[in-house]
């Protein structure tokens, strides 16, 4: 199974379209959205092509293939537009006998871990900075941000394929990779 990870779309139709194009090109099975889907947030400027209603319509075309968690900029009203569950603070999936703890990053992150075990995988967004590392027996992954990259990082997404997590630019170029399995 091939998983496609994105975070921090913040209502940008331009970058949501580019992410969906990458998802299709990658031929992934599921889209994992790590929060901050529709609203740009009070600290951010409006993103390019800010259009949360159209972002929702685009993502709803893939609603049966989306696993999502709530970000700090997501609100109950977003669930009225999105046709997939998006209001959970975290979710977990199993992949090749590894537990992946999915969260946005405003509650749990690489500094404040949830109750997970040695060998588990923490996947979060929120910081807009890509991360792929193993620390104290825990795999820590962040695909970066689709719309608002920070700290000189590019617009990016993550792919989990055959036990390797890749962080890629929207054009498909690999930035980082980490063997998980």
Tell me the pLDDT tens digit for each residue of 79-131: 999 999 999 999 999 998 899 999 999 999 989 999 999 999 999 999 999 99
Torsion of CA 29, 149, 170, 90, to 10 degrees: 0
3 state SS of 166: strand
**CATH number for the domain formed by residue range(s) 3-88+143-179:** 3.60.21.10
Question: What per-residue string of b and e applies to 71-93 under the rule 16 or more CB within 10 Å gives b?
Answer: bebbeeebeebbebebeeebbeb
Phi first, then psi, for residue 170 (nearest 5°) are -60, -20
**What is the mean predicted confidence (pLDDT) over 140-156?**
96
What are 18-40's pLDDT values in tens digits? 999 999 999 999 999 999 999 98
The two three-digit tokens of residue 138, written as one number:
């825990």
Domain ranges of the chain: 3-88+143-179
Q: pLDDT per residue over 149-163, tens digit each? A: 999 999 999 999 999
pLDDT tens column, 44-92? 888 889 999 999 999 999 999 999 999 999 999 999 999 999 999 999 9
The whole-model pTM stands at: 0.96
Give the lowest-confidence range in 41-45, 71-75, 140-144, 170-174.
Answer: 41-45
Query: In whole angstroms, what is the distance from residue 76 CA to residue 119 CA?
Result: 34
């Amino acid at each position: 199974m091939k998983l496609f990870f994105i975070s921090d779309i913040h209502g940008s139709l331009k970058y949501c379209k580019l992410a969906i194009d990458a998802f299709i090109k990658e031929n992934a099975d599921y889209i994992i959205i790590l929060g901050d889907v529709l609203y740009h947030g009070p600290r951010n400027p409006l993103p390019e092509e800010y259009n949360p209603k159209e972002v929702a319509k685009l993502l709803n075309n893939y609603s049966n293939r989306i696993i999502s968690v709530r970000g700090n900029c997501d609100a109950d009203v977003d669930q009225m537009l999105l046709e997939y569950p998006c209001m959970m603070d975290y979710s977990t999936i199993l992949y090749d006998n590894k537990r992946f703890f999915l969260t946005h990053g405003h509650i749990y992150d690489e500094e404040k871990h949830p109750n997970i075990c040695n060998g588990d995988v923490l996947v979060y967004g929120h910081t807009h900075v890509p991360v792929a590392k193993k620390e104290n027996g825990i795999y820590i992954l962040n695909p970066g941000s689709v719309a608002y990259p920070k700290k000189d990082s590019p617009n990016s997404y993550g792919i989990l394929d055959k036990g390797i997590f890749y962080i890629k630019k929207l054009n498909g170029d690999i930035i980082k990779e980490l063997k998980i399995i």
